[in-house]
Structure 1
């Protein structure tokens, strides 16, 4: 497992420099070079990218998608050496592994995906192919924190109806969402006990891309793979 940051690539501002997102307005050649450079640094020959749409659809994969990727927000595999990439800039990249079953997966879980339950859907899909939630290790990557992620009160209450643990308040006392707490609670309810965190807040960390902080910006990645 690994999380990238915004440094070490070739993209020009405002995507400087290691933007991995192909749908944010960056030069496609720069994105392709950044993706290839990152894969090489991680020792990966092949990487699966999704067309993330803030939903809860999950797919089992054994190779990268040919052409335009389908609309998905979670993928998993049992193929060694195949990298799975989750691209974010305030949403949470969630990486899951059952080393005994030889399965790994990743989910893109922002506010809509958390509300829709993309992470529990990933755990369930992996379990359908032999993974055991009690054996799983999950890592929730950098995301907008519950003290920064301000939302309208009605939105907070709507999401909290589905995921009560996501209800939060900013430092200024305004309504907020803590998607990290919500995802952790979803994982526990799905039977996953070993939950780890890269607790950096994207809004507060200049080394990471943040849509909320910058609007026009790039995407960093969470990568997970089985060793070949």
Structure 2
């Protein structure tokens, strides 16, 4: 079910699923009933109420939204925040960078966020936007977990795209094993977060190299795995 999972507070947990949890996305041509059954199984494994896990309609933007009520329509955004940590949050990826964040809010309750940081969103500052929203909600002592994604040795791009990206975020500059231009998105995410004063933990795993993770680059028909952050009741 989980590629990696950890308890990071008294009742706060973070994790990233693998292919054994199945595809969790409704937008990749999978049967909706099957996706909903897998989401329910994930919620059961997390120990949270059925239908309580909040998802986003991800569009490679820099938009951060507040988590709504359970069962409501998923917001169109690439960052999701829970100002009191009460809403279980999910971000779905299959090569892009999943980032989970937590801090301590007023009264000691956690402030949490889940962020989808693809190339465009990363360069458009989705992570600073999420951190800013968390701090505006009173979050301090922010920590982040960068989940499995395509690594810099595998993410080959045209030279012009590399130059454009590096001009905005130099830390993404990389080369593939064969010496061609590439982007290291997790390195860029880590540098950006560190520059914002956020403590960062990198969870190992390249999606393209490991078949226990979904990869759009390896298979355009791939499903999506999820990064999740939640408080156990």
Change (3 A) 1:70 1:60: closer
Contact 2:65 2:75 in 1 (8 A): no
Aligned residue-pair number: 215
1:57 to 60, 63, 72: 63
Q: Matches of residues 1-228 of structure 1 in structure 2 within 5 Å?
A: 1-8=14-21, 18-45=22-49, 46-64=52-70, 66-67=72-73, 69-99=74-104, 100-132=108-140, 135-192=141-198, 194-228=199-233
Contact 2:24 2:39 in 1 (8 A): yes
| TM-fit CA distance, 1:41 | 0.6
User: Residues 143-167 of structure 1, C-alpha deviation per residue, up to 9 Å, x if partnerless?
Assistant: 0000000000100111111111001
Contact 1:81 1:227 in 2 (8 A): no
Change (3 A) 1:79 1:101: closer
How many Å separate the matches in 1 of 2:65 and 2:41? 26
**Secondary structure of the corresponding residue to residue 65 of structure 2:** strand
How many Å separate the matches in 2 of 1:162 and 1:27? 39
TM-score, structure 1 as length reference: 0.91
Moved >3 Å (runs of 4+): 78-81
| TM-fit CA distance, 1:185 | 0.7
| TM-fit CA distance, 1:199 | 1.7
| TM-fit CA distance, 1:175 | 0.5
Contact 1:50 1:73 in 2 (8 A): yes
| TM-fit CA distance, 1:70 | 2.6
| Unaligned stretches of 5+ residues in structure 2 | 1-13
Contact 1:144 1:203 in 2 (8 A): yes
Contact 1:87 1:220 in 2 (8 A): yes
| TM-fit CA distance, 1:227 | 3.5
Flag the structure with higher strand content.
2
| TM-fit CA distance, 1:63 | 2.3
| Unaligned stretches of 5+ residues in structure 1 | 9-17
User: Residues 189-219 of structure 1, C-alpha deviation per residue, up to 9 Å, x if partnerless?
Assistant: 1111x21011200000100000000111100
Quote the residue 1:11 is aligned against: none
| TM-fit CA distance, 1:225 | 1.5
How many Å separate the matches in 2 of 1:65 and 1:32? 12
Change (3 A) 1:189 1:91: same
TM-score, structure 2 as length reference: 0.89
